[in-house]
Structure 1
Amino acid sequence: MAAVTQDPEKTLLWEKQNRTRAAIAAIIGAAGLLVYYIAFERLRGDYPTISGLDSLERVGEGRVADLPSLRIEEFQYLQDHQVTILAIGIGAFIGFCGMAWAAGFLSVATRARAPEFRRFLIYLPIIGGVSLAIGSLVYRTSIVVLTNDFMDGPRTVAEATQLQTGTQQFAQILSGLGGVVLAIGLIFVSLNAMRVGLLTKLFGYIGIVAGAMLVIFPLPVVQVFWLAGVGVMLLGKFPGGDPPAWRTGKAEPWPGAVATAQARAERGGRTPATQPAAPEASSKTPTAGRSKRKKRH
């Protein structure tokens, strides 16, 4: 990322040089997240479950650690779906890296139009997105490795409970922290980009929801929709053209509800009434009436 400048001409020049790459990253990222979502749902669909009653029945069978693990069916399922597991990891890696790139570009463009947007906020979606991408890929890869190790071993309860390694734990922590940082960054970027007019209100609010959903309830469909929309906008293919802020290099806040209503009324040939119109003067005034009565006398 280049240094942020408040000069509109330099801002527009920098954006022209980097906008297309950010758009491609956003679209590829959306495709990656879509692969991640589809592969994850496919893997989860037929995932075997283990009954807790079966575990309780084995307590009296002697040393449980040496018994065959009840998770053999689960590990067999994972071994049979290694390609799907890797697709989840690769899709997440591509998707969140694309999101980091697009959101980082949007952050720089926002700060160029809003000096109050702190510099450190630029790096939140970048650091968070890359961390989540790496953590997701490493975690899924470790599942494949550990599954093969278990299936090639004695397949006992002891082996099943000792599978998690330091690498897998590190990947889980990295993914968790990365997700939180990315969520915070995405919320701040979407909110401020909407305020300066770089994002429409629709995509500004969707970006805020997409960030919150990363922590509250992971649902990649929301991120896919937002990322694809941002990519289309950065390519200049957005319906209605670019928001004005992309053309001027300055903040162009969206009008409020009152201003919008007035603009719609003016386009319809109507001017919103601010006060009741004064009644038209009657052609027959009291003075005229008195004059007529005087003439009759």
Structure 2
Amino acid sequence: MNSELANLQKNISLANHTTFRIGGPARYFMAVRNSEELMAAVKWAKDNSLSFFILGGGSNLLVSDDGFNGLVIKMQSDSLSVVLRSTFAPLSMNSTTKDLEKMKIIVDAGVPFGRIIMETVKGGFSGAEWGFGIPGTIGGAICGNAGRLGQAIARVVANVTVLDENLKVKTLSKSECDFGYRESRFKKTKEIILSASLLFAKKEPVKIEAVLNEAKAVIKQSPPYPSAGCVFKNYNVKGGSDVLLKNYPELAGRVRDNKLGVGQLIDQCGLRGRQIGGAKIWEGHANYMVNVGNAKAQDVLELIELVKKSVKEKWGIELEEEIRRVGF
């Protein structure tokens, strides 16, 4: 066996590697610490005709009860470098404080998102503080364009370096990433995020603290049980022609940034607290499903279908899932 695959493991429970604490075993499992180990793992999977899946922090995932019949590669790289510049040209003896008004962070995909927040906030830079408490890695955040409080990670992305399906490394600009609401090209392609360059700007500490406090308030309202985060994407309001708002004009006052929270729509279907097996629609926020004890992926799937059917019947709209399914 290649020395770079010396830490290859078999039949590792994926429930222990996801925030939902649900899922069967990975046939093969390997933690990688850098791009070289990642490329070796992917090549090994391809050479052995195995499917592979890249695992970050394990949030926003629902893993099959049967697990994953292939190689799960867990990103544990932790390289992060910070550059303070206005133009990102070399500093000279004549540089002023204005040359330090921007921060560039070059970060490996496996670095926890929380570390980015810590680095920027302590330096007085804005752009990530809204994400306080969001689990997972920066690679996962970019893939799903994680967001909160009307902001999203795409706003600070300068470029993303990926490994394509031919094992070639290339760098993509922000526009090439095709970011959308909880979307990016990486959900549709077989490209693997290796690293990213993120740009942040100086901001008054009091303004950063205000957003940070808003994020902390959101976290305090999160469920005290294992979950994958919000199950469904918020509803995208389609301007004045939106059918949902035409049929239910009373919902217009709840729209924020052209999005309508679907938790309230689910709640008004009478589903708050509904439980199947060990999976439950959380009483505190109906867009969360929680694992209240030994939940199976099948329990969650049945709840998802119940919610979709109920919302379609009551409100006439199709809900889109935010969580990703693995091993189905």
Does the TM-score normalized on the shorter chain lie above 0.5?
Answer: no
* Higher relative contact order (Cα pairs below 8 Å, separated by 6+ residues): 1
Taking structure 1 as the reference length, what is the TM-score of the superposition? 0.23
Would you tell me which structure has more helix in proportion to its own residues? 1
Taking structure 2 as the reference length, what is the TM-score of the superposition? 0.22
